[in-house]
């Protein structure tokens, strides 16, 4: 009897555990389906908000990526956005001009920008703003490539650069990577909502705060003091000394080379420009590298970083030029472009 009692009690226990497991799996699948549905719905709403925005940072990027149709286009970081007076350049060159510079970006973004622009428009000249410091590896420049993610599904032109977020500072030539080419970014991009992370506020702000896009030029109006200039220089030098393992980012160098090659393949003029800075570091290997690249690829390099004409704090707002400096710099730049490039461009 004890044996039969033990047996009869054990069977319901096994059946009950199976039933509980099935219930758990069903609930898990329902929860997963709800999460996927919510993710897809959120992504769809954000997609509509993003691509129907009429102002704000996202609209500026979308305009440059899909609508810009000017003869001269400036690409680069905030140094491009603040330092190039595009209305003045357009008037001087007798050509339309748009400033597609974006705050906080680097050559990585400029490469994606170039691919997007050339997919729908062939300008006569692309000016690549080259801030030397941007060629060094910087983790934050990969983080900021999140602005490309809304385009990932519909625009293959951005996928290469967007995927670099997942292999930053990775030795892709190693045997291990070739055996296991793991890219966490591709997994994250399975989520629709992920592509719009941290954009809610900017998109909503763009609905209520209208900002007209005309030339893409956003000048600074304040003027630097001598004390502030020295503080900026000291801060930068402390940062350089603190970064013991500074190295030129191979993906940024690849981006610069590919920008140049894309322009040549599309028979466009391209020019690299280093706009004025508070202090030039002559021994920085970036200068040697960019000069060598300019000669090797037969691309004009206009280096104003050591130009004494701009050695005056009245031209600077911080480490960027102010409106006075941008206007003066652009007049000098346009003179060169008119004398050296305008006849060639107009002959096309």
What would the pLDDT profile of 27-41 be if each residue is shown by its tens digit? 889 998 899 889 889
Whether pLDDT at 343 is above 60: no
21 lies in the same domain as 169: no
Question: Is residue 43 located within the same domain as residue 173?
Answer: no
Give yes or no: residues 95 and 164 share one domain: yes
> 143-177 burial string, b = 16+ CB within 10 Å, else e?
ebbbbbbbbbeebebbbbbbbbbbbbeeeeeeeee
At residue 300, the pLDDT reads: 92
**Same-domain status, 266 and 297:** yes
pLDDT in tens, 247-263: 999 999 999 999 999 99
Looking at the chain, the whole-number percentage of residues with pLDDT higher than 70 is 88
Is residue 48 domain-shared with residue 73, that is, in the same domain? no
Residues 48 and 61 in one domain: no
The answer to whether residues 61 and 36 belong to one domain is: no
Q: Is the pLDDT of residue 1 over 50?
A: no
**Number of independent structural domains in the chain:** 2
Identify whether residues 10 and 79 lie together within a single domain.
no
- Structural domain of 43: 1-52
Residues 161 and 34 in one domain: no
Mean pLDDT of 159-168: 93
Mean pLDDT for all residues in the chain: 88
If asked whether residues 44 and 7 sit together in one domain, one would say: yes
CATH number of the domain that residue 125 is part of: 3.40.50.1110
């Amino acid at each position: 009897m004890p044996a039969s009692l033990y047996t009869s009690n054990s069977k319901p226990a096994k059946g009950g555990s199976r039933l509980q497991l099935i219930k758990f799996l069903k609930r898990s699948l329902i929860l997963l389906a709800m999460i996927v549905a919510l993710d897809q719905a959120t992504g769809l709403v954000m997609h509509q908000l993003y691509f129907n925005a009429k102002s704000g940072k996202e609209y500026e990027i979308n305009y440059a990526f899909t609508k810009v149709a000017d003869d001269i286009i400036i690409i680069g970081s905030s140094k491009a956005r603040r330092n190039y007076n595009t209305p003045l350049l357009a008037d001087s060159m007798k050509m339309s001009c748009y400033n597609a510079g974006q705050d906080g970006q680097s050559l990585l973004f400029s490469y994606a920008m170039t691919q997007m622009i050339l997919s729908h428009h062939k300008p006569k000249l692309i000016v690549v703003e080259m801030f030397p410091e941007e060629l060094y590896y910087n983790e934050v420049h990969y983080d900021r490539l999140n602005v490309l993610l809304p385009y990932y599904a519909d625009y293959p032109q951005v996928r290469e650069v967007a995927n670099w977020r997942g292999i930053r500072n990775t030795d892709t030539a190693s045997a291990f990577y070739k055996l296991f080419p793991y890219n966490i970014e591709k997994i994250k991009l399975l989520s629709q909502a992920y592509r719009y992370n941290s954009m809610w506020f900017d998109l909503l702000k763009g609905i209520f705060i209208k900002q007209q896009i005309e030339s893409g030029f956003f000048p600074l109006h304040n003027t630097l003091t001598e004390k502030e200039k020295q503080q900026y220089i000291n801060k930068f030098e402390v940062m350089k000394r603190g970064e013991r393992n500074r190295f030129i980012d191979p993906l940024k160098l690849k981006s610069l080379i590919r920008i140049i090659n894309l322009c040549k393949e599309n028979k466009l003029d391209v020019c690299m420009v280093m706009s004025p800075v508070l202090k030039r570091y002559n021994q920085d290997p970036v200068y040697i590298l960019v000069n060598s690249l300019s000669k090797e690829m037969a691309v004009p390099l206009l280096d104003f970083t050591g130009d004494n004409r701009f050695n005056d704090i009245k031209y600077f707002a911080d480490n960027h030029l102010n409106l006075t400096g941008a206007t003066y710099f652009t007049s000098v730049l346009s003179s060169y472009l008119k004398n050296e490039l305008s006849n060639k461009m107009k002959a096309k």
